[in-house]
Amino acid sequence: MADAPRLKVAMIGHGFMGHAHSQGWRVAPRFFDLAANPTMDVVVGRNAETVAADAARWGWAETTTDWREVIARDDIDIVDIVTPGDSHAEIAIAALEAGKHVLCEKPLANTVSEAEAMTDAAAKAAARGVYAMTGFTYRRVPAATFARDLVAAGKLGEIYQVRASYLQDWLTDPEVPLAWRLQKELAGSGALGDIGAHAIDLSQFITGLTLTSVSGIIETIIKERPILESSSGLGGTGGAEKGVVTVDDVALFTGRYDSGVLGIFEATRFATGRKNALRVEVSGSKGALAFDLEDMNTLSYYDGTAPAGEQGFTKILVTEPQHPYIANWWPAGHILGYEHAFSHQAKDFIDAITSGTQPTPSFEDGLQVQRVLAAIEASSSNGSAWTSTTK
C-alpha cells in the first residue's frame, strides 16, 4: 500500500540466495496489501565491487561491507541473513539485541549450540516485540501449503507413513570446485543440512508431526575437489590444486515421529539427472498425497474413501483463488514459479511483525531441525544407531 509505513530492510549477504530474497522483497508489497511496506535499503557483502553490482541489479538503495555498522543504525528495521551458516549466529544475535527483526536462512546455524543461543536471543527479543523467523521457504509454495491444509482437515485420516527426499545432481562432476558449501567450517554439513533440512522441515510442516528419533548414515563420494579460484552462483572455477571435501554428499536416514509414525528420507547432490527434486509423500487411512517441487503447481491426491473402481491419484492444479496465496496473483491456471515462495515469505513475515505475532517457522522450529541434523550425524558415527532428536 502506498500510504503504509515503511519497514527498512538490510540484507546481509547476496549471491544466489540473496537474489531470491531480493525478488521476494521487491515483489511482495506490489501484489499483497501489507500493513507496512518493506523497502530495500541496504545490502552487505564482503566485496565492495560485487555487492555494488548486485545492488544495482536488484534495486538495493545502498551498499556496505560492514554488517556491524548496518546493525548499529537506527533506521534499519529488518535484517535478512543470507550468508553461509558459520556467521548466522553472530549476526542474528547482534541484530536481535539491537532491536531488529531477523529473517535467517536455513539451516539456522552450523551447530546445535549456536542454534540454541540464537533461539534464546529470539525469545528475549520477542518479549520486546522484536521477531525472528527461519527461512524454510518451501513451506510457502502454494501446493505444499495446500497439502498441509488437507492433512489438517483430516482428508488423509490417520497418518501411516511418510517418505521424503531431496535430490540434486550438481556435484556429480568431480571437477566442480571446492566452494563454501563443501567446507564444514563454513556450511556446517553438506547435502544433509543444505537440502535434507528442507525435506525434514517440509515433512513435519505437512503432517503436523515432529521427528523424535532417527537412524541414518552419511557419506562423502568425492573426497577431493579443485580449490576454488573464482565463484559464480552455486559453482565457479577451480585450479589445479585440490582440497579435501569435509561435508557429506549423501544422507540416508529413517525417522520416527512423535505419533509413532515412521518416515524414510534421502538427501543427495549426486542423483544424476535430478535438478531440484524435493518430494514429500504421505500415506494415511483415508488417502494419500504427494508434493514434488519439480512439478510445483500441482498436488497429487488419492481419495481412499471413493468407491472401488473410481480410485486413483488425482492431479490437482493448485492455481485457484481459494488455494493458499493464489488470489493475489494471476487468473486460475496461470502457474507460479520458484521465486514466488520468497514473496510469500516476505509477506508472511511482514504480516507477523505488524500484527505483533510470532512468525513461523520460528527460530525454535529451526533449532528443532538442527537437532535432527545433529542426531543423524551422531547416528552415522555410531553405526546407524537410533538417536534421539531431543535435548
**AA identity, residue 332:** A
Q: Lowest-confidence range among 101-105, 124-128, 213-217, 233-237?
A: 233-237
Q: What is the pLDDT of residue 10?
A: 98
Sole residue written with cell 501489507: 34
Average pLDDT of the residues in 231-258: 84
| Helical pair 15-31 and 48-58, crossing angle rounded to 10 deg | 30
Largest CA distance in the chain: 66
Q: What is the pLDDT of residue 247?
A: 97
Dihedrals φ, ψ of 185, to 5°?
Answer: -65, -20
Q: What is the pLDDT of residue 4?
A: 82
| Band (228; pLDDT cuts 50, 70, 90) | confident
Please determine, for residue 234, whether its predicted confidence score (pLDDT) is greater than 60. Answer: no
Please determine, for residue 232, whether its predicted confidence score (pLDDT) is greater than 70. Answer: no
Strand bridging mode 159-167 / 262-268: parallel
Q: For residue 263, count CB atoms less than 10 angstroms from its CB and return exposed for 0-12, middle for 13-18, buried for 19 or more.
A: buried
Cα–Cα dist 149/206, whole Å = 8
Does residue 90 contact residue 330 with C-beta atoms inside 8 Å? no
Among 360, 341, 364, 344, CA closest to 352 = 360
What lies within 8 Å, CB to CB, of 271 at 6+ separation is: 167, 168, 169, 277
Does residue 88 contact residue 109 with C-beta atoms inside 8 Å? yes
Q: What is the pLDDT of residue 230?
A: 60
Cell readout for 22 is 531480493
Please determine, for residue 34, whether its predicted confidence score (pLDDT) is greater than 80. Answer: yes
For 172-209, what is each residue's pLDDT tens digit? 999 999 999 999 999 999 999 999 999 999 999 999 99
Please determine, for residue 356, whether its predicted confidence score (pLDDT) is greater than 90. Answer: yes
Q: Please indicate whether the domains covering 6-138 and 141-337+369-381 agree at the CATH topology level.
A: no
For 35-83, what is each residue's pLDDT tens digit? 999 999 999 999 999 999 999 999 999 999 999 999 999 999 999 999 9
Q: What is the pLDDT of residue 235?
A: 57
For 279-313, what is each residue's pLDDT tens digit? 999 999 999 999 999 999 999 999 999 998 889 99
pLDDT above 70: percentage of residues in the chain: 97
Which own/partner contact pairs does 374-378 have at CB distance under 8 Å and 24+ positions apart? 374/111, 374/112, 375/213, 375/214, 376/192, 376/196, 376/214, 376/216, 376/218, 376/251, 376/253, 377/189, 377/192, 377/218
Q: What is the pLDDT of residue 231?
A: 58
CATH fold, domain 141-337+369-381, is Dihydrodipicolinate Reductase; domain 2 (3.30.360)
61 against 232, higher pLDDT = 61
Among 148, 149, 113, 115, CA closest to 132 = 115
Strand bridging mode 224-232 / 235-244: antiparallel
| Band (367; pLDDT cuts 50, 70, 90) | very high
Across all residues in the chain, what is the average pLDDT? 96
Q: What is the pLDDT of residue 3?
A: 75
What lies within 8 Å, CB to CB, of 232 at 6+ separation is: none
Q: How far is CA 32 from the centre of its chain?
A: 22
**AA identity, residue 303:** D
Query: Which helix (H) or strand (E) is 200 found in, with range?
Result: helix 197-207
Cell readout for 183 is 567446507
Spell out the CATH class of 6-138.
alpha beta
Cα–Cα dist 15/234, whole Å = 9
Q: Please state the domain extents for the chain.
A: 6-138, 141-337+369-381
Q: How many CB atoms lie within 10 A of CB 208?
A: 13
Helix, coil or strand: residue 280: strand
Please determine, for residue 162, whether its predicted confidence score (pLDDT) is greater than 80. Answer: yes
pTM of the model: 0.95
